[in-house]
């Protein structure tokens, strides 16, 4: 199964690698009581881009309002969300710091760089996973978490494009989501093989399941406090994201009741709930 580049561009491949590097020398005493991880390095796309695209010439950026309206100080950091991302919630849970800064931020000090940054870039694709993991392990990574794909057919933009009537018939497109399911099965096999191959290094490579917890929310939205799950909060919610979600766009009144912030990316509250679902896996990898 191959995901075409057109789909990758529109759907943003939701593949994030949490590269948790065990320091070769204990530069700092373990401030972090939860685990033995002193730093977290994140690779991925717009679901993990905390501001790297601000520094490059691209239309896929979000360092302007209304993005970031619920982030501390209402700062439009470049996150494709109204607030924080999964990687921000994870790094705080691990007791490392409050949020993951972008690597491209020239203002970062030594401490910020030492405790982790995001290298993610919105619109990015990915290299072959096995070679990518091998390179990370060669560099000293010993704890790696790789997320699978979510139900891509449930993104508002995909529903809009594939629906017979985008205004009245807004159901998930299973033919698209099925590709994500196939991808997830294959990536789990790859990760298991890579874990077995490098087990002698003391490495721990884990698959992080996001498809099932996302579908649990989308199938039972009211039980999770959501009223709207098939359109974004910004603009019409049908197709807007990046530059088309801008200071002139309408924004829904109660963002927390919406699963999607724009037509591609979840709200901070949605990210928080997904994070809660995956933390047991993160904890098992980082212990």
Question: How far is it, in rounded angstroms, from Cα 229 to Cα 139?
Answer: 41
Active-site residue identified among 76, 105, 203, 265: 265
Active-site residue identified among 12, 88, 262, 263: 262
φ and ψ at 201, to 5 degrees? -85, -5
φ and ψ at 44, to 5 degrees? 170, -150
Q: Sort strands 141-147 and 17-21 into parallel, antiparallel or unpaired.
A: antiparallel
Active-site residue, 265 included:
yes
Q: Sort strands 258-260 and 228-232 into parallel, antiparallel or unpaired.
A: parallel
Active-site residue identified among 12, 46, 49, 157: 46
Task: Show the CA angle centred on residue 258, arms to residues 275 and 66, nearest 5°.
Answer: 95
Active-site residue, 46 included:
yes
Task: Show the CA angle centred on residue 28, arms to residues 24 and 36, nearest 5°.
Answer: 65
Catalytic residue IDs? 46, 262, 265
């Amino acid at each position: 199964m191959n995901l075409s580049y057109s789909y990758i561009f529109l759907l943003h491949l939701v593949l994030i690698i949490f590269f948790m590097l065990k320091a070769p020398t204990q530069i700092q005493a373990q401030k972090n009581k939860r685990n033995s991880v002193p730093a977290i390095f994140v690779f991925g796309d717009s679901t993990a881009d905390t501001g790297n695209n601000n520094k490059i010439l691209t239309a896929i950026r979000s360092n302007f309002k209304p993005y970031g309206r619920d982030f501390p100080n209402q700062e439009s950091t470049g996150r494709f969300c109204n607030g924080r991302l999964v990687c921000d919630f994870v790094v705080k849970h691990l007791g490392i710091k409050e949020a993951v800064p972008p690597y491209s931020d020239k203002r970062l000090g030594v401490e910020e760089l030492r405790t982790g940054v995001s290298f993610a870039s919105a619109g990015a694709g990915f290299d072959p996973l096995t070679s990518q993991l091998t390179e990370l392990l060669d560099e000293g990574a010993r704890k790696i978490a790789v997320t699978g794909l979510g139900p891509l057919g449930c993104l508002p933009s995909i529903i809009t494009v594939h629906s017979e009537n985008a205004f009245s018939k807004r159901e998930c497109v299973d033919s698209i989501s099925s590709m994500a399911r196939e991808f997830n099965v294959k990536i789990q096999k790859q990760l298991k093989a890579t874990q077995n191959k490098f087990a002698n290094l003391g490495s721990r490579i884990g698959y992080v399941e996001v498809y099932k917890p996302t579908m649990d929310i989308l199938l039972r939205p009211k039980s999770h406090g959501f009223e709207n799950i098939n359109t974004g909060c910004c603009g019409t919610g049908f197709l807007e994201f990046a530059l088309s979600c801008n200071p002139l766009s309408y924004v829904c009144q109660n963002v927390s009741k919406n699963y999607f912030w724009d037509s591609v990316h979840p709200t901070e509250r949605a990210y928080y709930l997904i994070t809660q679902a995956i933390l047991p896996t993160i904890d098992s990898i980082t212990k």
